[in-house]
Amino acid sequence: MTADTSATPYVAPGAEYAATASEAYQAALRVIESVEPRVAAATRKELADQRDSLKLIASENYASPAVLLTMGTWMSDKYAEGTVGHRFYAACQNVDTVEALAAEHARELFGAPYAYAQPHSGIDANLVAFWAILATRIEAPELAEVGAKNVNDLSEADWEKLRAKLGNQRLLGMSLDTGGHLTHGFRPNISGKMFHQRSYGTDPETGLIDYDVVAAAAREFKPLILVAGYSAYPRRVNFAKMREIADEVGATLMVDMAHFAGLVAGKVFTGDEDPVPHAHVTTTTTHKSLRGPRGGLVLATEEYAPAVDKGCPMVLGGPLSHVMAAKAVALAEARQPEFQGYAQRVADNAKSLAEGFLKRDARLVTGGTDNHIVLLDVTSFGLTGRQAESALLDAGVVTNRNSIPNDPNGAWYSSGIRFGTPALTTRGFGAADFDRVAELVVDVLSNTQPAAGPSGPSKAKYLLAEGTADRVHAASAELLNANPLYPGLTL
């Protein structure tokens, strides 16, 4: 399979860049090796493994050498609790610079009035958002009512009253098995413990969000927060409709765009499908489709900005200054015109992958995709998600098992496999390559069967037909060699 020349990898601007990155990594690994050679060896092995496998996990990508190198600096050595210009430690002027740059790039990239770059992860970003909404909607009015400036001014009785209110609010979010995230009110998660929680799902026939059903649930439940966004829903969302629903019941609309932020940044999602103009608060990770370091962001309207700005120390510990610096670099990359072409290819490649599955009679949740996610129902192969995930990994195809609506196997074993196209698109894969990937996946699953464990039928044990793994590895190698990871980078 030859490389698609229209899909030039965005992370390799030129030979000089690759040569400079090679020198940097070689020197860094020699330094690491002098202290703990096993860490250096594992790091080299990780790059080799990633180069030799088809990475199809929707929440993973490949950051540029510039982003990765930014994290390995002495910016890591600073404590910087507080906000830009208002720190609880001295000598934070350089941290102020990189945090301000990250926020500036985020505001410009997404068209947001305010951006907060400190969250360490997507879950942290959601916690900041939840508490900022509670502080804005509940705490501030309560303090104003008794004439207090902050909670320390409250009497014990007033504090108990406020604490009861803060912990007694309602949240309506997408259910985990229909594509939502565990931070959208899943009971074992802190979000399901903080709030009185209720979930909305998808239409049982189409697998799509029914906005009339969501509106009816909101009218009946009257949540303080309506959460939109997803981690395994292979379709776009009409955020204008979600805002209408939130406004009707007096809810704050919070959108978690962690998975599809790159498609928003790359202008694939615009208008009603761009959450930022419609949401009061928007959260995201900076890796996944945005292709930055592991971390989070919160975007907000001016109303919620003051409370979000108190994320540290309200929810977060000391900001990771080196990661904020890497966020600034990644967001600067995403503001380049080339990123829009990358984002469009991510979506186009997902359609190619879905079509490749469908023409080979595989069953997809919702029957296709119009974002970066393809969700495969593996029950038609007689397998659980865990069996399918393990068999694919044996053949060098890296995926993750995932629940499907009304999953008979639960969240642990599951009945689905979630695929994402951002990482391989970064490598340069095009439409024909993704059709071939679908063919290889179907080959593996068609040649896998359940196996019994020591005590009988097992949802984890499986048998992969002899020769399948070698055959798929060889075919994958052709695709991978034609689309090298970090071309020109040598260790």
Predicted confidence pLDDT, tens digits, the chain (491 residues): 333 434 444 555 567 788 899 999 999 999 999 999 999 999 999 999 999 999 999 999 999 999 999 999 999 999 999 999 999 999 999 999 999 999 999 999 999 999 999 999 999 999 999 999 999 999 999 999 989 988 889 999 999 999 899 988 999 999 988 988 888 888 788 888 889 999 999 999 999 999 999 999 999 999 999 999 999 999 999 999 999 999 999 999 999 999 999 999 999 999 999 999 999 999 999 999 999 999 999 999 999 999 999 999 889 999 999 999 999 999 999 999 999 999 999 999 999 999 999 999 999 999 999 999 999 999 999 999 999 999 999 999 999 999 999 999 998 999 999 999 999 999 999 999 999 999 999 999 999 999 998 888 899 999 999 999 999 999 999 999 999 999 988 88
89 part of the active site: no
Tell whether 118 is covered by a domain: yes
- CA-closest candidate to residue 425, choices 438, 437, 434, 416: 434
Residues 322 and 351 in one domain: no
Burial of 398 (0-12, 13-18, 19+ CB in 10 A): middle
Tell whether 475 is covered by a domain: yes
Residues 404 and 471 in one domain: yes
Q: Exactly one of 83, 178, 202, 285 is catalytic; which is it?
A: 285
The CATH number of the domain holding residue 261 is 3.40.640.10
Residues 317 and 354 in one domain: no
Tell whether 128 is covered by a domain: yes
Q: Exactly one of 33, 52, 60, 81 is catalytic; which is it?
A: 81
The CATH number of the domain holding residue 463 is 3.90.1150.10
Phi, psi of 458 (to 5 degrees): -130, 140
Phi, psi of 229 (to 5 degrees): 115, 175
Residues 174 and 142 in one domain: yes
Domain end point (choices 286, 310, 334)? 334
For residues 112, 113, 115, 121, the Cα torsion angle rounded to the nearest 10 degrees is -50
79 part of the active site: yes
Residues 147 and 239 in one domain: yes
Q: Exactly one of 198, 294, 363, 461 is catalytic; which is it?
A: 294
Tell whether 58 is covered by a domain: no
17 part of the active site: no
294 part of the active site: yes
Residues 469 and 364 in one domain: yes
For residue 178, what is the DSSP state?
Answer: G
Residues 95 and 139 in one domain: yes
Domain end point (choices 281, 316, 334)? 334
Q: Exactly one of 55, 288, 418, 436 is catalytic; which is it?
A: 288
Q: Exactly one of 177, 256, 377, 389 is catalytic; which is it?
A: 256
348 part of the active site: no
Q: Give CA–CA dist 444/383, Å, rounded.
A: 12
CB-based contacts of 395: which residues, under 8 Å, 6+ apart?
440, 444, 464, 468, 469, 472, 473, 476
How many structural domains does the chain have? Answer: 2
Q: Give CA–CA dist 422/427, Å, rounded.
A: 9
| SS3 assignment, position 427 | helix
